[in-house]
Structures are given as structure tokens and as C-alpha cells.
Amino acid sequence: MDLPLLISIFPQVLTDGLILGFMYALIALGYTMVYGVLEFINFAHSEIFVTGAFVGVEILLALKARGTLDLLSPFLVLIVLLVAAMAVSGLLAVTVERVAYRPLRGKPRLIPFISAIGVSFFLQDAIRLFESIWRNSFNLVYPTMDLFNQRFTLTETIDISVKSVVVIVAALLMLWALHLLVNRTKIGKAMRAVAEDQATASLMGINVNRMISLTFLIGGAMGGAAGVLFGIQYSLINPYTGFIPGLKAFTAAVLGGIGNIPGAMVGGLVLGLLEAFAASYFSLLTHGAFGAEYKDIFAFSVLILILIFRPKGLLGEVVRERA
Amino acid sequence: MGWRSIRAALLDRPVPAAATVMAVIAVSSYAVAHFPRSILAFMLFQASILLLYFSRTAPWLKAALAALTLGLLMPILGTINGYYLEVAIQVGIFVALALGLNIVVGLAGLLDLGYVAFYAVGAYTWAVFGSIQPTRFMSEGWLRWFPLGPEWFFVFLFLGVLTGATTGILLGLPVLRLRGDYLAVVTLGFGEVIRVLANNLDKPINITNGPKGITPIERPPLFFRPILNAVGLDAPPATLYPLYFYFLVLLIVGVVILVNRRLENSHIGRAWEAIREDELAAQAMGVPLVRMKLLAFASGASFAGIMGVLFSAKQIFINPESFTFLESIGVLSMIILGGMGSIPGAILGATLVTVLNLQVLKGLSLWLNELRNAGVTILGYNLADLPTQLEPAKYERMIFGIILILMVILRPQGIIPSRRRTRELRDR
């Protein structure tokens, strides 16, 4: 076995894993927040995420077409992208809840879930339809921003691109803001109350429907932000890109204990790291017999094992607080 | 005069009903024979079968007319336009799949989102052994047995049932303790796992030939050809095979429907429905939960397995692309559309969705292309400027999505609700 090689790629794999992990964490928040309030898997969340990515690419392409992209500060552009994507994705999530989930509240668990699958499929092709008419192509590439593509050289063998750092920092900031919102504000307290007990919360004067909409808004906004970061990191997007990351993020939410916000962050990071290591070391250790293609299988196996042996997830029992 | 009174006048009394149905069948068959390229004519023909189902005619007459349309008229029309036969075969395959999933989702209430995995297992079972694939992973000693001859196809139809059922049990064992929506996501993951495996098991040993897929796959033997020759009928294999597959599918679908009906009214079917309505209560009444759920998984999967074997033989070529999540959701939307737990509902749903995909969407695509090529101008907009990426045929996801959302919100019991559910709703 080639030990020096295994060690030398370690930092690279670690960064890849962290980026993947933060991405999953941001998406997983949407699943876990909605689950905490409604006990329902919002299957369409992966499309909310992709919508964010498309909002980002549309703005970038528009700026590029005007020739202003290179003149503006990349950080300003990033902030604009994030805000726009969060707004669109958040509102989309709220609309979806109003149209497709609210009429089904109180029905058996599987009924709104099937509706969510329908929404997911509908949105995928709706995005495709829109982009086919608008740009005559639905496989879009994020325009590059020079600063983001520069690389820090850490040692001879390791370098990290600026965009990776930006993605990680942005994700961290957003997770922190969410944490403050949920735990330190009155709105956050109301959301937690609704998650704990809807009937009692409404007796305390909390507008339950508004809080549920707010949950969708925030979860969707996080998903939209993740979409922009995803686009910046991996460049290529199409309407169906969201499916696998969505599934992985759901795995992450379950891994951390679904309904539990810190759990989603931890679960996302753990899954991202596991996956990055599995993807690169699996094929090295088996001399290429089992390549990186098996990383999806690996993630699903994690999901199945967790659900069977510890359905409450890693943090499910320690922290009872849910948002 | 409202729709109800028209329907009552035409379909509810035996004699007018029989007359109406026969007239529609005759007119539509004539229309198809006369305008072989008209989608509308063929859809009218399909609708006549639906009309037959809804009409109140004597059972013997119904059976006779069904046998006439499906057993004689359809094959004849299929030789006039081969595509219709292809549509009919596809409809048959999906009817069997929908009936299989109907057991798992509709009767037992277990949402299985990876149903297509069992179909894939069946398809690969025959594809691997009914092609030159064994030469790629077997040692010399074994190879004098392989590739298997076409007559083995029939053995593999049964093996397909077995492998399907076995995979169903293997999946079911660890996950059946899970609650409804978790179960759904795990089965989804399982479906993806099977597809990824099919995609990647070309190394270290080449079993599935990876994304390139397996071809050619043996077709069943034309054992009846000497008999046809003896009565002076002969046709080239190119015409015989589609007809052959059509009748095979018809036969299998018939058996599947029979098994479904027997199951539904047996103590097993009742146990499934008890589990669906209330697991705890069912358990308290002495329903063995695990055994019944496994049985549901296994029987649903076995139908997919047998159709998989047939599918691979019909296509001659299979690759992992045919077994995506999209297919699973397609089958799910068929039974949601038709009515969960309802056998006629599953049949109708499968037919409607398949026809929508294969005929309506494709037809729209062709029509749009013709308009585009002709450069027709509508309201000052030249259709030649239409984006080339705009192909209605590619929007099956949107169709599935709309079906799922609308049905679940507006008519959760489906187009033809199951009889038991109708009774329940009336009691309330």
C-alpha cells in the first residue's frame, strides 16, 4: 500500500469533505426544520435548492452579458447572488407549502409526502421548461470570477482555491445567523414552540400557520443559498442536479437526528467527510476495483444503517430541543 | 341533457349498452384501419375498451367483446401500424408493474419508491444469462453451458418471479420496521443502489457490462412457426415477434390480474388492508406484521421480476438507463391516478399514463417540429424561432408531478376507487 500517497492527498480530501459537508448541512436544515414542525419530509426541497442555483447563474449571466461582471467586486456579486437566491427559494418554498401541502395537513403521513414528490418532479421540469424557452439550454455553467479561481498554496502538494474558502466561510456565517435567529429571538422562540406543540403554541397567541410559513421561508432560503454556493463550487448545473445532493442532505438530517438543527449541521459535516474519504480512498485501497462511483451507495448504506440501528440519529437523544 | 343522463341512457341498460359499445368498437377499429397514422383514432379505439368496462352488459358479452378487441382486433390493427402494437405491449408491461406496486402501496400501504429495482433485477437475470455476457466473467469449464438457448426464456420467466421475490424479501427484512416515510426514502435509496451497481459491475469482473448495457439478448423461440407453416400462414420474424410479445404480455397480465384478484379477497389481502389502515390494531388482532409485509413486498416484486425478463427479451438491449427513479415514480403516479388499492384503477392508470407518454407527448413533439419546420406564424410569432430544446416528449416528469399533486389534493381515491374504499367512504 502506498502510504505516503495516502497521506499526501489527505488535506485535499479533507477540504473537499468540508465543502461537501457544509453544502449538505445547509440543505439539510431545510429538511430538518420542516420535519421538526410538520413531521413531514419535504421531498421538493432539493428543487428549492436547485432553484437557488439557477437564480444565481441567471444573475451572473446577465451581468456577464452586460460586461459588468469583471468590474464589480466578486464579494459584492456573491452577496447579491445569495440574497436574490435566498429570496426566490424562500418564497418558492412558502408558495409550495400553501398550494401543495397545506390542503393536506392532518391527512395520513404518506399523502403530503406523495404530493411533495409530485412538486419535486413538477419543479424539475418547470425549470427545464423555463430555461429551454429563455436560453434554449438547461445545462448551464456558472461564469468564472477570476479572484475565486485563484489558489492559495499551503505546501508543495496542497493548494486550496479561494472559492472553497469563500464557500466554507459563507456557509459558516449562515449557519451561525440561523442559530442566532432560532435561539436568541422571539420569532425563534415562537418557531420552537410550534415545533414542540402546535395546539399549545396557538393557545399562547402564536399564529401557527404564519410560523409554518416562516419555517418554510427560512429553510427554503438556506437551500437557495446552498444552491448558489454549489454553483460557484461545482460550476455545472441542470434542473436535475438537486436530486442526489437532496437525498444526501436528507441522509445528513437523519444522521444528525431529524428535527434537530445542530444535528443537521453535524450530520452534514460527518456525511460530507465520510463521502469524500470513501470516494478517494476506496479506489486507492482496492487498487481501482471499486471506484469513486460507489460513493452514492456508501451514503445510502449509511442512511439505511442509521435508520435501522439508531433512528433518532447522532444527536437525537442528547438534545431534545427542536426548531 | 347532462353527462349523467347521457351515460345512463347509453350504458346502464343492457341492450343500448351492448349496441353502443359494439358501435364504438366497430367505428374506432375502422378509423384506425383507415387512418393508420392518426393518434386520435387509436385513442378512440382504446377508449372503446374503457367504455366496454363501464357498460352494464351481460358478463358473457363483455368477456366475448374484450376477447375480440384485445385478442383479435388489436393484433390486426397492430400489423397495420406497428407502433400501436409497441404501445400496447408497453401498456401491458406497465399494467403488470402497476398491479405489482398496487399490492405494496395500495393494499399494504407501504410506500415503495424503488420499485423499478425489482424490474431491473428481473431484466438483468435474463439479460446476463441469455446473451454472450457469461463469456466475460465465467471460466472455460462453465462456458459449454452458456449462452443459453432461446428456449430457456420460459424457464427464466419463472426465475424472474423468484429473483424478484427474493430481492423483495432481502430488501424488506431490514427495513420493514421503519415508519412509512422513512421506508419510502430507504426504498428510493435501494433503487438507486441497484442502478449504480448495474452501472458499475463491469469491473473487477464484468457481469453487467456497465453503462454500455447488454446486447443482443436472446428472444423466446418461435416454436409455433411450423404450425403456422402447416396451415399456410407465414410471416417474417420481424412481424411475428411483436405479435408474439403482445400475446405473451397479454397472457402474463391476465395471470397477474387473476392472482391480484384472488389475493385481494383472501385472508392475506384482508391482512394487508388491515395493516394499511392501522398497524397497531392489525397486530392486536393477530395479523403477523412482518410476515405479511414481506409477503406484500415479495409478491409485488415478483410481478416486476417476470416483466423485467420479458422486457429484456423484447428490447434485445438493456442498460441501467431504463431503470431510473423516474420509472418508479411513473408507476407510482399510475396507481395514484387510477386509485390506490383498486385493480381496475391500476390498469386504467397504467394505460392512461403510458398512452400520455408514448402518444400524446410524442405526438405534440412531432406536431411542434412540423410547425417549426414549416415556419408557421401565429399571432406575429414565427414558430421557426421556437427554441429547439423545447420538446414536449421530454416532459414526462411534469406530467407525473401534476398527476401526483392534483390527484392527492382533489381526488385522493383515484379515478376508479377500490370497492372497499368506496364503501368505507359511504359509511362515514
In 3D space, the residue among A25, A26, A36, A23 whose CA is nearest the CA of residue A214 turns out to be: A36
Main-chain dihedrals φ then ψ at residue B214, nearest 5 degrees: -110, 130
Beta-bridge partners for A151? A161
- Residue in chain B closest to A300 (alpha carbons) equals B189
- Residue in chain B closest to A133 (alpha carbons) equals B387
Q: Is A113 in CB contact (< 8 Å) with chain B?
A: yes
Average model confidence (pLDDT) for chain A? 86
CB B100 within 8 A of CB B256: yes
Is there a contact between A41 and B111 if contact means CB atoms under 8 Å apart?
A: no
Instruction: Say if residue A163's pLDDT is above 70.
Output: yes
CB B118 within 8 A of CB B355: no
Is there a contact between B401 and A100 if contact means CB atoms under 8 Å apart?
A: no
Q: Which residues have a Cβ under 8 Å from the Cβ of B210 and sit 6 or more positions away?
A: B199, B200, B201, B202, B203
Q: Which stretches of chain A are assigned E, i.e. beta strand? A: 140-141, 151-153, 159-161, 236-237
* pLDDT of res. B175: 80
The size of chain B, in residues, is 428
Is there a contact between B389 and A138 if contact means CB atoms under 8 Å apart?
A: yes
Measure CB to CB from residue B185 to each of A41, A122, A290 and give the nearest one. A41
CB B337 within 8 A of CB B153: no
CA B71 to chain centre: 18
Which CATH number, 2.60.40, 1.10.10, 1.10.3470, 2.40.50, labels domain B86-352? 1.10.3470
Is there a contact between B200 and A291 if contact means CB atoms under 8 Å apart?
A: yes
Lookup: cell for A155:
505546501
Residue numbers in A near B409 (CB within 8 A): 100, 103-104, 115
* pLDDT of res. A289: 65
Q: What whole-number distance in Å separates Cα of residue A23 and Cα of residue A31? A: 13
B88-109: b or e for each residue (b if 16 or more CB lie within 10 Å)? bbbbbbbbbbbbbbbbbbbbbb
Q: How far is A225 from chain B (nearest CA, A)?
A: 25
* pLDDT of res. B362: 82
Beta-bridge partners for A237? A140
Residue whose C-alpha cell is 466554507: A168
Domain with CATH 1.10.3470 in chain B: 86-352
Q: How confident is the model at residue A288 (pLDDT cuts 50, 70, 90)?
A: low
CB A119 within 8 A of CB A96: yes
Q: What whole-number distance in Å separates Cα of residue B88 and Cα of residue B355? A: 9
* pLDDT of res. B208: 85
The domain segmentation of chain A, as residue ranges, is 3-139+152-309
Residues 257-316 on A with a CB inside 8 Å of B are 288-291, 293-294, 296-297, 300-301, 303-304, 307-308, 311
Task: Please tell me whether the interface predicted TM-score (ipTM) of this complex is above 0.90.
Answer: no
Residues 229-268 on A with a CB inside 8 Å of B are 243, 247, 250, 254
Half-sphere exposure of B86 (CA within 13 A, CB side): 9
Is there a contact between A300 and B395 if contact means CB atoms under 8 Å apart?
A: no
Q: What whole-number distance in Å separates Cα of residue A52 and Cα of residue B412? A: 32
Angle at B50 (CA atoms; ends B44, B52), nearest 5 degrees: 105
- Transcribe B236-297 into DSSP letters: -HHHHHHHHHHHHHHHHHHHHHHHHHHHHTSHHHHHHHHHHH-HHHHHHTT--HHHHHHHHH
- Residue in chain B closest to A138 (alpha carbons) equals B389
Q: How confident is the model at residue A320 (pLDDT cuts 50, 70, 90)?
A: very low
Q: What whole-number distance in Å separates Cα of residue A300 and Cα of residue A302? A: 5
- Residue in chain B closest to A113 (alpha carbons) equals B181
CB A51 within 8 A of CB A124: no
Q: How far is A41 from chain B (nearest CA, A)?
A: 7
Q: Is B184 in CB contact (< 8 Å) with chain A?
A: yes
Half-sphere exposure of B266 (CA within 13 A, CB side): 10
Residues 2-31 on B with a CB inside 8 Å of A are none
CA B413 to chain centre: 20
CB A36 within 8 A of CB A260: yes
Q: Is B85 in CB contact (< 8 Å) with chain A?
A: no
Is there a contact between B332 and A123 if contact means CB atoms under 8 Å apart?
A: no
Greatest distance between any 2 Cα atoms in chain A? 65
* pLDDT of res. A322: 41
* pLDDT of res. A1: 58
Q: Is B381 in CB contact (< 8 Å) with chain A?
A: no
Lookup: cell for A292:
469513486
| Digitized pLDDT (tens) for each residue of chain B, 428 residues in all | 566 777 777 777 777 788 888 888 888 888 888 887 777 888 888 888 888 887 877 788 888 888 888 888 888 888 888 888 888 999 999 999 999 999 999 899 898 999 999 999 999 999 988 888 777 777 776 666 667 778 888 999 999 999 999 999 998 888 877 877 788 888 888 888 899 888 888 877 788 888 888 888 888 888 888 888 888 777 787 888 889 999 999 999 999 999 999 998 899 999 999 998 888 899 999 999 989 999 999 999 999 999 999 999 999 899 898 898 989 999 999 999 998 888 889 999 999 999 888 888 888 888 888 887 777 777 767 777 777 777 788 888 888 899 999 998 998 888 888 877 666 666 54
CB B225 within 8 A of CB B234: yes
Q: Is A101 in CB contact (< 8 Å) with chain B?
A: no
Residue numbers in A near B421 (CB within 8 A): none
* 3-class DSSP assignment, residue A151: strand
Main-chain dihedrals φ then ψ at residue B14, nearest 5 degrees: -55, -50
CB B304 within 8 A of CB B94: no
Q: What whole-number distance in Å separates Cα of residue A43 and Cα of residue B174? A: 23
Helix and strand tally (H, E) in chain A?
Answer: 13, 4
Q: Which stretches of B361-427 are assigned E, i.e. beta strand? A: 377-378, 381-382
Residue whose C-alpha cell is 470513501: A278
Q: What whole-number distance in Å separates Cα of residue B88 and Cα of residue B281? A: 42
pLDDT tens for each residue of A12-40: 888 889 989 999 999 998 898 888 888 88
Is there a contact between A289 and B398 if contact means CB atoms under 8 Å apart?
A: no
pLDDT tens for each residue of A101-112: 999 988 887 889
Q: How far is A13 from chain B (nearest CA, A)?
A: 23
- Residue in chain A closest to B204 (alpha carbons) equals A289
- Residue in chain B closest to A129 (alpha carbons) equals B390
Q: What whole-number distance in Å separates Cα of residue A196 and Cα of residue A208? A: 12
Is there a contact between B200 and A294 if contact means CB atoms under 8 Å apart?
A: yes
Q: What whole-number distance in Å separates Cα of residue B213 and Cα of residue B211? A: 5
Q: How confident is the model at residue A323 (pLDDT cuts 50, 70, 90)?
A: very low
Best residue of A140, A307, A308, A312 to probe chain B, by most B CBs closer than 10 Å: A307
In 3D space, the residue among A306, A299, A320, A219 whose CA is nearest the CA of residue A255 turns out to be: A306
Q: What whole-number distance in Å separates Cα of residue A43 and Cα of residue B273? A: 26
CB B113 within 8 A of CB B186: no
* pLDDT of res. B308: 94
Residues 98-127 on B with a CB inside 8 Å of A are 109, 111, 113
CB B100 within 8 A of CB B301: yes
The domain defined by A3-139+152-309 folds into ABC transporter involved in vitamin B12 uptake, BtuC (1.10.3470)
In 3D space, the residue among B146, B26, B104 whose CA is nearest the CA of residue B304 turns out to be: B104
